[in-house]
Amino acid sequence: NRIRAPTPTNPTISRPPWVGLGRQAAGRHVRVTMRAQAPETPARTRIGGGVAVQGSRVGERARQRLAALLRADRPEAERWLSRIREIGAVEGIPSFSETVRLLTHLDVPDGEARALLGEVLRHRDELAGFLGRDPGLRVAAIDYLSNVDRRLVNPKIVEMSEFERTAKSASTDPLTRLYNRRFFRDALDREVRRSRRYGVGLSLVMFDIDDFKRINDAFGHLFGDLVLEHVGRLLRRSVREADVACRYGGEEFALILPETDRLGAHAVAARIRVRIESRFAAEPTGGRTVAVTLSGGISTYPEDGLDPDVLVSRADEALYLAKRAGKNRITLFHHEKRRWVRFPARGGARVRVEGEGESGASRATAVNVSRNGVLIETADPLPPASPVRVHLGRGEEESRSDGWDVPGRVVRVESASGSGSRFRIGVAFDRLVPEECLAAQAEGPRRPAARAGRGGAR
């Protein structure tokens, strides 16, 4: 019979912890932090052939939603368990395991955690019948785990807000107030698993401050710290709630962009690069106006890798290419032999192609575009290797007064698929077009509308 007078595991406690609590204390959000298990309970419990995972890999938003459920110390059992299950389904996390960890600081598998919470709720009902009042979830948990289940030894009671501040400080870089590298590794692993499960994209951006050693050598490390602090602030203000901005180490930063394709990640990274360059050029830092720029490299799941370590490696390779190409730029990792990545052309993007001699001018539709070439579809074929001039407009109308005239040469001519009267023509530019031109021609970034619980738009 579980309804028996509990034998305290700590002899210095001579009365149940809930006796004498006033209304204010009883309503406060208190966390029971559990240290060590009883000797007969192993630290890593094998359940159904699996091993309990140590440590939390749950995002901040999901943790906050679960913590909000724990603020109600006297929840209705079935509804409360149902809400935990819903959060797990929406966020793609082991929600019962995380709820037990938040409540007790114990790491148990999700199935065992669900059963354990059910036992705690039943024990709460038994205590209520024995005491003539509801003791609440936390008191029931500490009594059950200390005196019935006996996996706890010498538990400590601490205010939840204080515990969360301590936990957050362990995952946050104190200088930039971004997440630290340890949190980054867990977050990237979590987001890759989520992308794999739901079939959505994911992009990773690695940033590095250009010539940061020169800044430190010229102005000192305290000034360098001030630069890092401002860069961290700008990064925090430039991302969605669902994104994860981290200080990777030294002057290097990482940005995890869930549900973001290559072009979307490039747009975000380029905006951050311009924002940081403009801020340091326009405003003094520590009484000095110093030019500060960023270079960035991007990798995307699943195109560039299926594993977190591979994505980091590929983003680093792209970052190295950005540095080698002159710094202060964003580079996408790609497997293609061509140097510049091609992007799908914006729907309705029109171009004008002018050949030499009798070829004259013809209108065409852009299929895809890069900084060093364009693939167009037109009814008028052009001779291979012939020189041409391509006009790339800013809008759907290719007005000569608004756009870019780029000389080039025809490198490929073939019949368009399913049509004998239209042709696809590849043109290599004689010079690189500016990024502004590429952005005007390429299809806009496809960043989906925010799902419930995943943060707002940028």
The dihedral sign for the CA sequence 312, 315, 320, 326: negative
pLDDT band for position 253 (cuts 50, 70, 90): very high
pLDDT at 358 over 90: no
Contacts 24+ apart (CB under 8 A), 310-316: 311/188, 311/192, 311/202, 311/204, 312/188, 312/204, 312/206, 312/254, 315/204, 315/205, 315/206, 315/254, 316/206
Percent of the chain with pLDDT over 70: 76
Give the C-alpha separation, 294 to 296, whole Å: 7
Q: What is the pLDDT of residues 166-195, one digit of tens each?
A: 666 778 899 999 999 999 999 999 899 989
pLDDT at 65 over 50: yes
What does the chain come to in residues? 458
SS3 content of the chain, % helix, strand, coil (to 5): 40, 20, 40
Q: What is the pTM of this model?
A: 0.53
As a whole number, mean pLDDT of residues 243-272 equals 93
Q: Which residues, 6+ apart, have CB-to-CB distance to 291 below 8 Å?
A: 277, 280, 281
In the beta sheet, which residues pair with residue 389?
354, 407
pLDDT at 55 over 80: no
Residue 450 has a pLDDT of 39
Residue 458 has a pLDDT of 36
Positions marked catalytic: 251
Beta-strand relationship, 343-344 and 361-370 = antiparallel
Q: Calculate the dihedral angle through the C-alpha atoms of 89, 95, 97, 102, rounding to the nearest 10 degrees.
A: 170
pLDDT at 451 over 60: no
Q: What is the pLDDT of residues 283-342, one digit of tens each?
A: 999 889 999 999 999 999 988 888 999 999 999 999 999 999 899 999 998 765 556 777
Residue 45 has a pLDDT of 30
Q: What is the pLDDT of residues 9-32, one digit of tens each?
A: 333 333 333 333 332 333 333 343
Q: Are 90 and 452 in contact (CB under 8 A)?
A: yes
